[in-house]
Structure 1
Amino acid sequence: MLNKFSVSAKLYLLLFITAVSIVGLGVYGISDLEDMNQNTQTLYTDRVLPFEQLSNVRFAYTTEILTVAQKVANRTLSFSDATKRVKQAEETINYNWGSYRQTYLTPEEAVLVKQTERTKQKAYKQYTELLILLTKQDYKALEKFIQTENSAGPAPFTVNLTQLMKFQVRVGKQIFTENNKIYHTTSKRFIILISGFLAIALSLSLYIIKNIRTLIKGILVRNDAIKETQEKYYSLFEQASDAIFIMNSEGNFTEANDSMCQLTGYSRDELLAMNVTDILNAEIIKMYPLVYATRKLGESVTGERKVVQKNGKIIDIEINGKKFTDDRITIISRDITARKAMEAELINAELKFRTLADKSMVGIYIVQKGKFVYVNPRFAEVFGYEASELIGREPVEAIVHPNYQAISNENIRLRVEGEVDSVHYEAMGKMKDGSANWVEFYGSRAVLEDEPTIIGSMIDITERKIAEEELKASEKKYKLLFESNPVPLWIIAKDDLSIIAANEAASNLYGYSKDELLNTSVKQLRPIEDWEQQQLSYQKKITGTVDFGVVRHVKKNGTPIFVSIISEDILFEGRPVRISSTVDVTEKLKAEEMLKKSEANLQTILNTTDTAYALLDHEFNVLEYNEIALLFAKQEFNFNPGESTNFFEHLPESRRTQFLGYIKEVFKGNTISYEATYDQPDGGNIWYYVKIFPISNKENEILGLVLAISDITERKNGEQSLQLAYQRIKTNIGFIREMIWKQSHILRSPLANLKGLITILQSDPGDEEVLAHIKTELDRMDAVFIEMAQDTSADDMNY
């Protein structure tokens, strides 16, 4: 049956069977590959991507939130930086967690997500609290926060995130296992099917080969005729001066002439074993891929390429190619390296000029035929224009102030007509908004393209002009300040100590006229014995302003004075000079001496008194104190003001609150006094009388306070002794009152008996005179006892 078909039909049949086999295998394979692809996509979108998102959440939480508090506490991170990092971490957590929630969640995973969401809310409260502490910048609260978190153990949010990540890994492994099973099953089936198709294709191929042999014999006969034609073609091919090569649609060389070998440096055999991309620049191919295979038959392709020669040298070639019916592509190329080098030099030269001109801080301009043909950005900027706005405009009218246009026009004419080659002048410019500025022009004549051309530069000197005017005004102010200054001022040459300048105050202080001072040496102002020291002082070079302290000077009349000298070395009219001020401090020194004596007297009084005095500032730092205060501080507080100056730090905790209450009143301007007792190691007490009063200036601003402390233990002991004596007297009086009361009652009993007897005796009187005396004495005794009883009652009321 197959004999009825031609060889080509048999080949087509073989190809058809092969194609059907390949398509069948492909369809079968694609089905399994789709399953594997679906699993792979599920692995990425539902496992790998969520794993990355969860990893980002855990990293942000554990690295940027859990550790930031400790870093701030350790002072390795500032509060502001920590706040930023926590907020950034919060954004990262919310974004990645929200993205993860949008992915596919299995039922088991959904349960874990709900648990994690609850711990996330707790974590959110945690870092919200942390943000508040960071905002307050409270180290103590932050330390407490760290202790609380450390004691809580591993963060639940981190634990849940880890569980979710492990879940992603476990499910990913399951998907991978499924893909692996599909792969092995598909491989086995492919081997079986391929074996069957190969057996069928092999049987058919053997049959076709027999028919092809007959066909080849006929082809060989026709091939001889073709060879003759090819010899003529190759002769022309080899003798061409241009490099010619032939390649197939894949870019492999199939032929190359001698010129091509010379161009590349490779032999023909080497080229025929290479691909065209082997000799082309890789970077250029990326930018401009080869397009010959996509071209239509007979369509020419022209262009430029870079070729890498065998020795590594890169050259430029110009190509012309065409595609033929048998998918062959013929390329004719020519070396244009020299031409490209010239073009590059021209481009580079222009680029350098453009770069130099456009980036220059100096304005650059070119004028031809009375108009701007080029200005750089700086030139246009000085006058408030864009560069394009000045091109084609007349220079003088556009940028020169009317008052200077005549000068500018003349300078242009001189150069254009060749009377001068270059000019340099200053002129007032005119800006786009109509305001004026100052510019300095440098320009020269040239000939470009047979046209007289002015090329020049321009500098904006507006600030320099302003500075010059300010300098002139400053010089006037300086002279006025120097001459009218109430402080004596001098300018003295350092080389010969001559007085170059002195103001009116200087001449008045020393009793010289200004002319006398300008014709003398500064030595005349010092005693002779100080001249050598003065000379050495002027020989030294000083930097900046130097205070030379107090120096002895002499007036014209010989009166010695003491002056405070402040000097600075400068250059004056190119000459090194020293400018100095001399302030008469003679009276001040006398006053200071008197003040020192007064302070010494006061210190003597303070150190000989029995009261402790201490001067404190607003922060309770001890500024001054006497010897008694030092003994008190050491005795009661174990405190030496000379070593640690803060009094409050050494005050017992039990006394600080009351002391602060007193201090508030003192700083209101009130004087406070009170008594205080201190327990002693021997069990006794020492009493002190404390008086605190404010120290203020003339504006009644309270600067500090004085603490005066006196030992009143002896007085307090005397008061206590008197109190004890009083108590003893009171007790004794009670005893006496009780005794009198008892005695009065004891005496009144017999008196009552006597009075009764007298009554009996009266019934039978004997001696009336005696009876009368007895009665009188008895009445007197009774009256005395009654009076004693009344006195006792009165004493009870007093006590």
Structure 2
Amino acid sequence: MSGFFENGTRNERDFILNTMKGLMTLVNTDYTYEAVNEPYCRAHNRQEHEIVGKTVSSIWGWKAFEKTIRPCLDRCFAGTEVRDEAWIELPALGRRYCEIIYSPYSPNGNSITHAAVLTYDITERKQAEEALKESEERYRIAIEHSNDGVATVKGKHFLYVNQKFSDIFGYKGPAELMGKPIMSVLHPDEKDRITSYTLRRQRKVYAPRRYEMKGVKKNGTIIHVEVSATSITYGNILVSLAYVRDITERTRLEEELTEYRTHLENLVEARTLELESVNELLRQDVMQRKQVEESLRRSEAKYRNIFENAVEGIFQTTPEGRFISANPSLARMLGYDTPEELVNSVTDIPRQIYADPRIRNTLLDLLHKDGVVRNFEFQGCRKDGQVLWGAVTVQTVSSSKGEITRYEGTVEDITERKTAQENLFIKSRNLEEMNTALKVLLKKREEDKNELEEAILRNIKELVLPCVEKLKNDQSISNRVLVQILEENLLNITSPFLHKMVTNYANFTPTEIRILGLIKDGITTKEIAKLLGMSVRTVDSHRYNIRKKLNLRGKNLNLRSHLLSLT
């Protein structure tokens, strides 16, 4: 200990050494300990006399001494203060991370004779630093591999972006965007709004934390993104931190959902008066709503109710022949307990639903040609194998690229109608057969009637008229008048003209028929009145009725000439 703290007492030296927080030693140029403090002794589980006077290599081992300690001591003896950090094994403390300071010491102010070695246990600090470093690394990895784009913005320019942010906007890597203005990825419609949000946020003025906007990729493609933004301190500077998620696909799906609802509305409106009435109520109800979200919710609920409770079957199918959705009515129609059972059980619609799979191909040909098919009748199969008749109305639904994505339509069970039509056809055929038989009977009756009339006329001519001819020879005046009247009446009965008038104009009275015959024979109105014992006015009235029944009123036609034309 010669020369160490020469101006002080041993007690003062020990006080100074032992009150230090670190492990303190004094090593001479022979690499031998000349002084140690109590913390150093405790760390090595040794007494002071077990260390002082011993070489450093005997305490630390030759390998550690040569590799680590000796190089630092040599530099210190050369006049350089050496600082080192390392993990070391201390017998009493275990493995600790320490900061070791080698300070040159020259008691006489000339040559360096010793190295004052001060060791601080900084294990906790090192562990905290490593934990922080590990946390920062995890955060960096999380940011770099995040499914969301991340960007920090200073002023109006990008300070940092991750790879995902570059991918979203179509850039190869972050380097292409860092330092560029944020307007390079903003749609023209959004530049003022988003720039305002960013600057307000950096001034700690309120700005929305979550919003949607339109962006522009490097190639000019317009995309939709959702932004979550806040402000953070970065190097004593307030910057904007934004998380960006590409919602272009979600926006497209929302548009398809809206399109689907529109198709469903049109489909339902086209079916029955009952559904049209419901849809009209829905339309009026929707017009009265002021909030779009509330409108959508109510509309969806009502359409779902229609879908679930419609009398007709409603469906969606894939072009490959599987059900996407079906309502309970269709499930019951096809013999399934629930729509879910129908959707899961039927994997090949042409073979499981159609009695003849080729019929579906015919339907699809018409559908692809016209885009919609109405009331297409087909025979289908229920789950239990029973055959039913259905009438399907279906239309195609295409994507924005024009590709058919699904078919939507309704099915009406027309089995009863088909059965009724078949029964009606059978009854109609039976009635036609009965009608044919009736025509035969009526024809036979007409023939019998004609034969009877001919027989009566023949008997009058052969049996009655000869007797009248004999009576005419009687010279009695009264008898001659009666015979004349009798002869005229018999001739009228047997006249083909009057027979035709009676047959074709059955609405003439007997008196009108007698007057018709006399007019045709050229008898005047006065003579007819005298002959029939009636007034001239009565005869004129009969003549008027005759012209009316012959449809001659208002026509400049002579009645006798017309009657002669009918002979």
Q: What TM-score comes out, normalization by structure 2 length?
A: 0.42
Bigger share in helix: 1
With CA pairs under 8 Å and 6+ residues apart, which has the higher RCO, 1 or 2?
A: 2
TM-score normalised according to structure 1 size: 0.31
